[in-house]
Structures are given as structure tokens and as C-alpha cells.
Structure 1
Amino acid sequence: MWQLERPGPGCSPPRLLLLVYSFFCAAGDCLFVTDYFTRTPRKLNAFNSFASVELFHFNVPEDTMMAVWNLITFKEQGGTFGDSCPNRNVTVYFRSGAPPVINPLHTHFPRDTVIPGSFAVTLTWTLPNRTTGAFNVTSPLPGDWFLAAHLPKDEGKISVKGLSEECQYLFQPQLIVQKLIGISVLYPGYFIDQMIPVHNRSALYKVFIPNYISKVKVQLVNCSTKNKSNDTCPVVLKIRARAPPVHNSSALDCREWNPCELVALVPAWEQWYYILVERYLSNSDVYFRIGVQVTDCSKSHLSKDRAQPSSSMNMPQSFGTAMGFSLSETLLMASLPGLSQNASPLHTSEDSIIYLAPTADTNKCWPIRPTLRNELDTFSVHFYVFFGPNISVPPDRAAVFAINLMPVLDSGGVLNMELKLNLSTLKGANLTVFGCLNHGMPLFLRENSSPKCESESAAGFFLSVNVSSNITKLRIPYPQTGTWYLGLRSLCATEHGFEACTNVTAEVYMRSYLTPCINDCGTYGQCKLLRTNNYLYAACECKA
């Protein structure tokens, strides 16, 4: 179910659009699409384990400005309204990308288990037999969203069945999304002249960032309010990956910078980046030239002997270009695609569109080594390293591996990672192998600094093995699907901190695999495979 909504002169926008209308009208003629999704009501259960939770799966479209979940709960008793049923609060959890990992009983997860974050709301009763709630997300991430709902744990009271009708609590979530149609698309390397008219608040753009990009730089130049470049630029530049910017996105006040350049280091790969140019209140139009430059590392520029395949480098390896073209070659061969219809008109001067080729970066991108996927059973998958499982970590560069989790299919299990350092290869060196497991793009560990597994916009999972502790494990229940990257870097401890080792190649045994549950749910638990509509997932519950 969908409908088109186009606010016209003298007409106020729908209430749900009011938050986005003043911020995202890029050219005075906004066009929104309203999508509506609902799920069949289900009976809720008291929480004993995740197997007693009702799980709901939604998909949020790209370019969504607002997502609103209506949460409807009602009571039934004997086929009629359950006015006499006690009020039992309903807890609902939300998570993007994979099911939420919840712990209402405050039990302990096994060691080396990381718990992804999620949102939670509690619904209280406002009417005798019905209650509603809402969960709003501005500029939500696109793709899979999961809701988990349950009642509080049973109080342990014993009741005789048949003396009275059982009270049932039914839960039905509904999703309403508002999408903006016709967002202007920018292309890396191309600069175009744009204008925000006085009656608009902002302009929204998006640019697609492919694999093997180490830096994205948004540039806003020749900015003025009188079609002259010597005035200050009364705008704020914002950028965000996967969804339009929000209040805490990376931002830069262009009044203080000329030219105005906003840089995103270690950007997410294979994702849309959204760019918002938001003007300060004034009585004149704002003119500017905007463009996006990327730093391309799809070409290694390594010497021939260093790039030669060998078992010590655990080949094969890939720079991500299936046909052998780098990003710069692809853009040079392609003509400038047509701009979106809602983009501001370009000036007719000959230099209204200019092109700058991407620059190369040889320091941050090393070959990504693929892994072989071997499916044994449901949520039982092993990822094998070519020429492994022992892998060599050279002293002068990182060893990076890609692990691909299938969309939807793999998010219902547990991702396991194990590293074991071979001490016999260290030759007495005080060496530590640091690992960084991250989703979406690799985070490269650099020497001469404190080892970190994070960037300005992303944080991964940190691992390390050394002489005193040569084994480490990591478990991620309900992992996000897509590509995970494991970067390994060997560094030696000195009095000045960690530095690159000399003439020592560390050898690490790596094991990566999916399992349905953690440790098969232990001695007193059992692992169950559950299904909600077409989505399959696993959960532990206590044995009877």
C-alpha cells in the first residue's frame, strides 16, 4: 500500500512529514512516498528464554526519512475482550540488521561473548483491554529491522486449568515509512554548480562509495549569497553513511572554512553516503559548487615481487575489481550520467561541471584475502582460509581477510572467531598480533600508535595474542549479515610503545565458523531452531 504526497502552495504537509519537510526539500518540489506494512497479531508468552519471544521481521526501504512503528496490544478471554484480565506490561526490543540480543533475566553470557546493542520500549495499559505505543526513528538505516516482544516472567503461581478462561495477550506491530523521492545523485570526481533558493532550508544529495576507498572528501567551494566567491558561506555541511544525516552526524560549519571540506576516513564500502547542505536563516539565495573526491586504493602500486602470489601471503587475494579496472579508470571511461530532475539548474558557463580523477592511497589498503564458505548444516558453516588454516602475518603490512555472511540466512546464528599464535615462529621477539574484526569495511591497525579497532564513525571488535596469552576467542550472537573483515597486524613492544617488527613473520592459526547456539546451550540447555514467517533463527531454552 502506498501513496504519493506532494505538498503544494497553501497546503500544509501531512503531520508525519512535518519533521522532514523543512529540512529535506532540495528544490522546492518535494515528493514523498508513504509505505505501510503490518503483521498478523500473535499471542505473547511470558519470558523464560529467547525461544519464548515473538520475533517480527521488517524491511525499511532506502531514502527513508521517518519510520514509525505502531505497537498494538489487546487482551482476549474466551473469544471476547479480556476486560477482567490483569495488566501485564509488554516489552518490545528493536534492532537493525539482525535480531536483538536480550537478557531480561540478567543472566551471564559465556566469556568472550559480545552483546550487540538494541533499543527497548515498555508498553503499559491505558484502556481495560487495549493499549498502543509508538517507536519513531528519524532517518533509519535501510534494510532488515527486527522486533522481539514478550510478557514479564511468570510469577510462579499455580492455577487449575478449566476453572476460568485463559487470558491471552495479542501483539501486532505496524510500520509506516516516509521516503523522499528523487534525491540528487553526485558522482565521485565531478563538481557541479548548485543553488539553495531563499524559500528552502537545505539540499540533500547522495553518492555511492564502492569497495576499496580509504577516504571520502566532500568539498563545497565558490560559495556566496550574491553569486560571488568572496563572501562567507552561511551553510553547515553534514555527511552520513547509509541514511540521511541526523543531529549527531559528522558536520562542518562552512562559515569558518574556505574551502569547506568534510572528510570521512575509512568509509563504509558498497554503501550510499548522504550529504546535507543546510543553510542558515537569511534573505538571499546561496550559491556553491559541490563535489565529492575519493581516495582510491584498488590499485596496489606494489612492486612486482611483493605482489606476486605465494603461499606465504595466503593467496588468492583481491582488490575488488572484477574486470581489472580501478575506480579512476571506470570513471574516466564513463560519461557523466544525467542529474536527478530535482537538482538545482546548472549554470551555463563552460566550467559549471569539472572532473578530478581519484587519488591513489598505497598505505591503507592491502589485498583482501577471501575465505571459502563450507555449509555443513543449518547455521553450521565453516570459513576456510586458502593455504590455511595457518596464516602468515608479515612484519611490514596487515593481513586482511573477508568473511561473507549471507543476507538474512546467517543472522540467526552465532559467529565464532578463534586465533592461536604459533610461539615457535617468534624467534624470541616480544611480539603481539592484534586483530580487528569489523563489519562493512576493514579497520587497519597502524604502527607507532596505540593499537585501536575504531575510526571516527565505526568501531570493531578487538582481539590480540602474544607470548603470555597465545589463544583468544570471540563470539557474536545474531551477527549482521554482509561482509566482515578481519585485519591482523604484528607489532613488537618497545620502550616507545608498539612498533613494526623487523624480520619476524608471525604465524597464526585462524578458525572462523557459524554455529546455531553458543556452546550448544551448555549442560542444562538445548538449542532449538525457530521460524517466524520465512525467517529462521536459533535460540537456547532450558531442558524440561
Structure 2
Amino acid sequence: MLLSSEAQNNTSANISHPAPGDWFVAAHLPPSSQKIQVKGFVPTCAYVFQPDMLVMRVVKVSVMEPDVPLLQTLLSHPSYLKIFVPEYTQELQLELQGCVSNGSLGCPVRVTVGSVTLPSNFQKALTCSNLPWPCRLLLPSPPWGRWLQVTAESLAHVSVAFSAVAALKACKPWSVTFQHLLHSSPNQSCNASSGQLSLGPGHQDLGRSSGVGSGPFCLVSYPVMREDMDVLSVHFQPLNRVWVMVHWHTPSTVRLRLNTGMDSGGSLSISLQANKTEIVNDTLVVACMNAASPFLSFDTSLNCTTAFFQGYPLSLSTSSLTANLIIPYPETDDWYLSLQLMCPESPENCQQAMVHVETTVNLVPCLNDCGPYGQCLLLRRHSYLYASCSCKAGWRGWSCTDNSTAQTVAQQRMAVLLLTLSNLVFLAPIAVSVHRALLVEASVYSYTMFFSTFYHACDQPGEAVLCILNYDTLQYCDFLGSGVSIWVTILCMARLKTVLKHVLFVLGTLVIAMSLYLDRRGIWNMMGPCLFAFVIMASMWGYRCGHRNQCYPSSWQRWVFYLLPGISMASVGIAIYTFMMTSDNYYYTHSIWHMLLAGSAALLLPPRDRHAKPWAWSQTFPCHYQICTNVRDELYTVT
């Protein structure tokens, strides 16, 4: 159900007779208000919503027992009934008998089985006013092992009385055990009408020894082992390791237990493969994947539709010996894979035929690990775990395989060149720092330029990618270099004493490193230390202004040609970084941010002290010898 609250603060929805299970409330911002979150800045607007829920329960719910009439009288309110469907139920028939209407022709009654809040294929409705009585509703393969809700309501404002009867048709399964599989061989055949499995010489009658007795079977059940590999990673494997025998007279079913509550956040992958020597002529293997109950009506229908579920069809033939199916975010339930052999043109060819089908079923977090244009991400919300692909370079889809809006290889390379080569502007503040004997600042700028270049080279998807280190390591170093570069630039502008400046350099770097470890994208990781450095710089400038009785810096050329342009570039860069950067223009805006940050650092660095010599001159030795006399020891040294 979709709710919109653009022009109001409150919105509500009334959900009558909700389906049992977990319900979720999700909030989503329109695309126009979404901004990209990079290096700790949050979107311009934050939205908070508080969901409230009021539950009203139905007090009287009648329980229907199989083949027992239940008298109901409808007035202004509907009647609520429920019936339990046991396991291996093949059909459920709901019948209304003996209808008596007061003051109305016919019997205006509508019966709904299942929750009305689910899609139409998850509910069945029957209007009995224009149908001959008794009014019947047949549900093939109802969901096993659960209660079904039945709602009966009058279509006219009159009193209606009737009797409701539920009839269940049991399904007799033939379960294949591990001992059966050990003795099985390709030359065996299963007689479902007699309940016997014919074996080769020297083997016992497994149909009689299984204890199920004689009589027709509706399915052959193959056991499956569930092996949990990792988070949202499960491997289902038949006991015989590979195959399932498929016959023409009885469906072969495989149960996949995905009811642990932690299996709905991945993708269910099913792969079927048949032996080409066993599928001949018009032989066809049809399969259906359903939840809650298996599909058993291959003789009458091939649409894989059960009582409340539209299944997923698959088929194997001589022209297609393999079939694959992917179900993203499967429902938390027992899933059933049903297979049966069909011969549409000549049914007599299937009577003695048997096909071994290799089944490979896995639950994976992301298909193909999202490929080269995506990254598999895990999201946990209130004990629910989900996996999804974060696609890049314009790719879309469950596994980032939709290239309808994808970037070309030339566009990807252009983006990489913009993001990496724009870091070469840091050569300007490096050269200025070296010339003015600011070696620590030059080292920080070199560090930032190096890791920012290779981080963006590794951050790009597809073919234009180069990673010299782990991606997480490169990202951390890039964020650290950006924060420390701003920190040392502002402190350098304060013109502190050398010892105090270097102490603050080290302390600030340690604090920024700690905050990035706690929350790499936190807004105060960069803003906190930078504001503290700005307070120190403003205090020192104010002290010098008061001490000298003039503005500091006192040179108007310094303000006009260096400080004001540097402050303007830094302000524009922060504005672009915070308000204008989105996922569509990231390559251009972030490259501009690199150039503005490096350019402002080159302009804002303070000039060299007029009394200090350049660092290259301070270490030069004189070109002549000087004799130093130690008056105490009368020793001579030559320097």
C-alpha cells in the first residue's frame, strides 16, 4: 500500500483483515531530494516519521471441521471462519448448503478465502447469488500446515442463513528414503498406481517395506539436505547427491525449507539438467516451483497455479536440456519443486520412460556477486537480513546486468581520468610548501594526492579500475588525508611556534583517525577538528591585531591576491561538495572539488618568514675551513 505525505504532516491507512506474518513500513524520498553522501556529509534535509498502529481484533471466529456442517447467519456484519489445512492435502472444497434468505431472491452471499490484503492470486472469492445451490469453491493444493481465513458477507441488507461445509482430499505420498536411493539404478521403474517400486533382481519390494500400504500415490517425495554455508548462503542437495527420478504418472517433489526467518533476504537459484540420452522424441519434463504447497495437477494444467500461489514454470526437452530459475527474496515458507514427465503427442511413449534430472538449488546473497559493475551489500533491520547489489556506472537489475542506462567504456575511462588527474593540482601546494620550508605540510599534501588518486582509480566499476591496495584501506586513507590536509593548512595560517604547531599537527591527526574509525562518514569527523583549528587561527590573528594595533595580515596585497581568492575557492568547493554533488554529476563535481581544495591550500599557506632562509640553504656548509679552539683541552677541530 502506497502512502504519500507531501503537503501534510499526518497520513493514515486502514487495512481490514490483514494477512498473518510480518508487515513492514518503509519511507522513501523522491529522487529530486536525494543527494550523494560522500566523506561524511549528510543530505540537505532530514526527515523523521513515527509510525503508530491500532489493532482491532475479531472476537468470534468459528472453526470449521472437515465434513461437519457449520450453521451461519449473516446480518449486517460478516461471519469469520477458519479451517486448518493439514500436510499432504490435495484439494480443499468449500461448500455452502441450505441457503435461506429473508426478503430477497436467490442467496446474496460472497465468500472470500484468504486474506483480502494480499494480491489477487493470494485470495479466492466466490459470489453465490447467481450460482446454482449448493455453491462450491474448489481450491487445488491449498497451503499445507496452516489456518485459512474464510469471510462470508451478505450482499443485500437482509438476513441470510446457510451451512458451510469444508471437505479435504488427502494426498498419499510415497517418500523415497536413503535406503531406496542406495539400491536404485537407472533401469528401475516406479509403479505409482500400485505403490510399488520395481527393482532389478535380488532387491526387495520397497513399496511394501516402506509401510505406506497399497493404493494410488499423488506424489513421490525426495529428501533434501540443507547445508548452511554462510550468511544468506544455503546449499540444498538431494541425498543421492545429484539427481531426481522423474516419471509420467506421478509428480516427483523436492521440499526446500526456507522457513528459518533468515532466508528471505537472498536469491533462490534453481538449475535443472537432464541427460540427453533419456529425453527422446516428444518427451518433455515440466517443473513447477511453488511456495506453501506443491503443484500436483500436471495432467490437467501446466500453469503451475495452486490455490493461492502463481508458481514458476520450467521445462526440459530435446532442444533445451537445461533450465534455470532465479527467485529474488523468496517468501519465508516451505518451497516445493515438482517435476513430471509429459508426452503431449504420444502418451504411450512415456509409460515406460524415466528421466534422471540433476537438480542444483542454492540460496545466495547476490547473483554472480553482482558482477563487475556492482557490489553486494548486506543490510540488517530488526533481526531481518537482506542482500542487494549496489550497481555503478549506470548498470541496473538484481545482479547489475541491465545495461539500458549503462555508461560506455569511453565514459568510464573519462570519469576515471577526471577523478584521478584532478589530484595533480596538489602539486601546487606541495611546491609552495617546499619552497617556504613547510615540509610537514608538503608531506601531508603528497599523502593526500597519492591515496586520493588511487582510491578513485579503485572506486570505479567495470574495466577502468586499478586497485593497488584493499578498497577499504584506500578509502580510509583518502578520507584521512582530506581531513588532515585541511587541519594542517588552517593551523599553518595561525603562525604558531614550531613546537606547538607540530604538537597540534600530531594530536589533530590522531583525533581525526580515531573519529574516522568510529564513523567514516560522520559529518563531525572533518568539521569538528577544522572548526577547532579555525578558532585557534582566529584567536592568534586577533591577538596580533591587538598587539600591533593594525589588521593582520597587514599587507593589502596579501589579502587581495592570496587570502580572498583562497577563501573564495574553499567556500565554493565546500558548497559544491555539500549541496550540488549527486550520483549523476559526481565525476565532474568531485573533480572540481579536488582542484578547488588544492588551489585554496596553495593560496592560503602563509609566506616564509622574512628572517628565515630557505631550508635548502640552511644545511649548506661554508666553502672554507674554520679552526675552533677549545681553551680547556687545547684541542683543534676542523668543520
Please report how far the alpha carbon of residue 372 of structure 1 lies from its aligned counterpart in structure 2 after TM superposition. Answer: 0.8
Structure 1 Cα separation of the partners of residues 40 and 195 of structure 2 = 81
Query: 1:509: which partner in 2?
Result: 358
Residue 440 of structure 1 corresponds to: 292
How many angstroms apart in 1 are the aligned matches of 2:78 and 2:236?
Answer: 46
**In structure 1, distance between residues paired with 2:37 and 2:114:** 53
- Find the aligned partners of 1:164 and 1:379 in 2 and give their Cα distance: 30
Residue 69 of structure 2: aligned partner? 191
Contact 1:296 1:361 in 2 (8 A): no
1:41-120 equivalences under 5 Å are 119-120=1-2
The structure-2 alpha-carbon separation of the partners of 1:153 and 1:303, relative to structure 1 and needing over 3 Å to count, comes to same
CA distance in structure 2 between the partners assigned to 1:367 and 1:292 by the alignment: 26
Matched, 1:429 2:281: yes
Classify 1:409/1:378 alpha carbon distance in 2 versus 1 (closer, same or farther; 3 Å): same
Equivalent in the alignment of 2:93:
217
Give the superposition deviation at 1:462.
Answer: 1.0
Distance (whole Å) between structure 1 residues aligned to residue 38 and residue 77 of structure 2: 65
Tell me the distance in 1 between the aligned counterparts of 2:52 and 2:306.
36
- Matches of 1:408 and 1:441, distance apart in 2: 18
Aligned to 1:489: 340
CA distance in 2, matches of 1:382, 1:162: 39
Question: Which ranges of structure 1 fall in alignment gaps of 5 or more residues?
Answer: 1-118, 327-359
Residue 326 of structure 2: which of 458, 466, 475 is its match? 475
TM-score, with normalisation over the residues of structure 1? 0.59
Among 374, 377, 386, the alignment partner of 1:525 is 374
Structure 1 range deviating more: 199-208 or 158-167: 158-167
Q: Offset at 1:177? A: 3.0
Taking a change above 3 Å as real, the CA distance of residues 483 and 281 of structure 1, as seen in their structure-2 partners, is same
The residue correspondences of 1:268-283 to structure 2 (distance < 5 A) are: 268-281=143-156
Q: Quick check: which one's helix share is greater?
A: 2
Structure 1 residues 309 and 387 mapped into 2: Cα distance closer, same or farther (>3 Å)? Answer: farther
Percent of aligned pairs with the same amino acid: 30
Q: Paired residue for 2:250?
A: 397
What letter matches 1:460 in structure 2?
Answer: G
In structure 2, what is the Cα distance between the partners aligned to 1:190 and 1:504? Answer: 43
Matches of 1:162 and 1:389, distance apart in 2: 50
Q: Which residue number corresponds to residue 264 of structure 1?
A: 139
Q: Deviations over 1:1-32 (max 9, x none)?
A: xxxxxxxxxxxxxxxxxxxxxxxxxxxxxxxx
Which residue is 2:273 aligned to? Answer: 420
Choose the corresponding residue for 1:408, options 255, 261, 265.
261
Which residue type is aligned with residue 240 of structure 1? V
Q: Give the secondary-structure state (helix, strand or coil) at the position aligned to 2:249.
A: coil
1:400 is displaced (CA, Å) by 0.9
Which of the numbers 155, 170, 187 marks the counterpart of 2:48?
A: 170
Tell me the residue number matched to 2:126: 251
Matches within 5 A, 1:118-157: 119-126=1-8, 131-153=9-31
- Distance change >3 Å, CA 294–CA 147, structure 1 → 2: same
Q: Mark the CA change 1:295 to 1:139 in structure 2 (over 3 Å): closer, same or farther.
A: same
Structure 2 residue identity aligned to 1:187:
E
**Aligned mate of 1:460, from 306, 311, 334:** 311
Q: In 2, are the aligned partners of 1:420 and 1:472 still within 8 Å (CA)? A: yes
SS in 1 for 2:196: helix
Query: Over residues 357-414 of structure 1, what are the superposed CA-to-partner deviations in whole Å (9 max), with x where a residue is unaligned?
Result: xxx9957x31332311001111111011121312221232221111010332101111
- 2:111 equivalent in structure 1: 238
Higher relative contact order (CA 8 A, sep 6+): 1
Q: Is the 8 A contact 1:142 1:243 kept in 2?
A: no
| Cα deviations by residue, 1:68-120 (Å, 9 ceiling, x for unpaired) | xxxxxxxxxxxxxxxxxxxxxxxxxxxxxxxxxxxxxxxxxxxxxxxxxxx54
Offset, 1:527? 1.4
Shift of 1:525: 2.0
- Give the letter for the 2:276 counterpart: L
Residue 432 of structure 1 contacts residue 465 of structure 1 at CA under 8 Å; is this kept in 2? yes
Name the CA distance, whole Å, in 1 between partners of 2:116 and 2:42.
51
In the superposition, relative to structure 1, how do residues 456 and 206 fare at CA in structure 2: closer, same or farther (>3 Å)? closer
State how far apart, in whole Å, the 1-side matches of 2:353 and 2:94 are: 41
Are residues 210 and 499 of structure 1, via their aligned partners in 2, closer, same or farther at CA, if it must alter by over 3 Å? Answer: farther
Going from structure 1 to structure 2, the CA distance change for 1:503 and 1:309 (only over 3 Å counts) comes to closer
For residues 239 and 379 of structure 1, do their structure 2 counterparts lie closer, same or farther at Cα, with a shift above 3 Å needed?
A: same
1:504 counterpart letter in structure 2: A
CA contact (8 A) 2:264 2:332 kept: yes
CA distance in 1, matches of 2:118, 2:42: 54
**Structural RMSD (CA):** 4.0
Residues 473 and 325 (structure 1 numbering): CA distance in 2 closer, same or farther, change over 3 Å?
closer
**Which residue identity is paired with 1:241?**
G
Measured in 2, the distance between the counterparts of 1:125 and 1:249 equals: 38
Structure 2, gaps ≥5 residues long? 175-191, 393-458, 460-639
Q: For 1:416 and 1:210, how far apart are their aligned partners in 2?
A: 28
CA distance in 2, matches of 1:256, 1:163: 65
Deviation for aligned residue 1:149: 3.0
Deviations 1:436-492 (A, max 9, x none): 001111112524x66322246431011112222212211111111110011111223
Classify 1:456/1:499 alpha carbon distance in 2 versus 1 (closer, same or farther; 3 Å): farther
2:83 is matched with 207
When residues 500 and 120 of structure 1 are mapped into structure 2, their CA distance, relative to the original with a 3 A threshold, is: farther
* Maintained 8 Å contact 1:493/1:499: no
CA 1:252 to 1:125, structure 2 compared with 1: closer, same or farther past 3 Å?
closer
CA–CA separation in structure 2 for the residues paired with 1:520 and 1:163: 29
Any conservation in 2 of the 1:193–1:290 contact (CA below 8 Å)?
Answer: yes
> Which of the numbers 425, 432, 451 marks the counterpart of 2:302?
451
Q: Map Cα deviations across residues 164-187 of structure 1 (whole Å, 9 max, x no partner).
A: 994322243333333212311111
- Please report how far the alpha carbon of residue 200 of structure 1 lies from its aligned counterpart in structure 2 after TM superposition: 3.5
Q: Distance in 2 between matches of 1:282 and 1:151?
A: 45
Of residues 357, 371, 374, the one that matches 2:224 is 371
Distance 1:271 1:361 in 2: 27
DSSP 3-state at the match of 1:178: coil
- Preserved contact between residue 19 and residue 118 of structure 2 (Cα < 8 Å): no
Residue identity opposite 2:56 in structure 1: Q
The question of 1:387 aligning with 2:240 is answered yes
Partners of 1:159 and 1:297 in 2: CA distance: 56
Q: 2:71, 2:40 → 1: CA distance?
A: 76
Question: How many residues get paired?
Answer: 369
Query: Residues 220 and 260 of structure 1 are in contact (CA less than 8 Å); yes or no, is this contact kept in structure 2?
Result: yes
Identify if the C-alpha distance between structure 1 residues 159 and 516 changes in structure 2 by more than 3 Å, giving closer, same or farther.
closer
Evaluate the alpha carbon distance shift between residue 256 and residue 386 of structure 1 in structure 2; reply closer, same or farther with a 3 A threshold: same
